[in-house]
Structure 1
């Protein structure tokens, strides 16, 4: 049984789901058990759900399935980002009917990455696969933010980090936790780009097992030993 990266709890807010750490210790691709377990737990009760996210990202296949399950869920889904929602975690966040982010929270979006082996034909297949994965991710971002696909693609190309105000301004979040109205939050400043220090701070939180799944950028760097 794989280590669970999610946990259900009851609180004054109601039914609450916590997503902490890397999403899926191993890829969900070809896994028939873990996605079913998550769905069973999600549907075990009715009512609204609050999801707290603090994750550097991980398996894009897991994120895609969780996103779909949450979008199809009958109750209201509210997402609260209390730390970081980067890479695949940002995709899950887009399933929130309302997305709130901590004043100190961060979001990051980037292009998907993978590891491939073989001849030029295999490399071309990998490139084509990554292109389709990127388009599927843009679908989720576009539906939530209303931004053009060209702008979203550019932001992903640049591996862009958003602080809370920028996330609200661009539509990735609807509001800032512990704050006032949306109009008070908007700012033309606040976008930042990743650097070695930020990525390095996430390295130890990610799984060590080698896979051929689509990887979070930090996992990819770790495999190549570029940041050790």
Structure 2
């Protein structure tokens, strides 16, 4: 029974790297074997080369992640804030005073959270309903893009990263390099050293020459 990724066959590694979602360990191992074959180096030396390749364009990684961080933060904040805006009398009253200016509820009509929600729903329903419908339409549009075979935004970013790495290291098989580049597009861990490697390899980042920098778009 294989106990390490290095013990798997090339056919199995190929299937793992091509499976939906891919497999970073499989893509890394395929690239390592390609480097060993082309450069005639040892397993450990190929690992050093992988770290160098993973460092290529690392400065762009955070920029690529920015839209996802912004979207994640916006969704969390909006979701959390929407609850007290609907069910908290204190916050809803302040919001109404400065933004809505609707008639305040009659005395005794906001004794419970549900009664507060009945009052606030008059102005909260339009934005919440519109946002929900907008997201539903965007999801439907995305599904149609996939049906037409068009790449979504994330896949386009991965392809861009893959094209850059292939151009920087043309001596290796382009499809193997592309699979690896897509697998690590948003993952910087390989650039800091590989897991399950000798200690000197984990610390190899400092000893490596600077990788070629990605050309900035004009």
More strand by share: 1
- Report the TM range for the smaller structure's normalisation: under 0.3
TM-score by length of 1: 0.24
TM-score by length of 2: 0.25
Q: Relative contact order: is structure 1 or structure 2 higher (C-alpha 8 Å, sep ≥ 6)? A: 2
More helix by share: 2
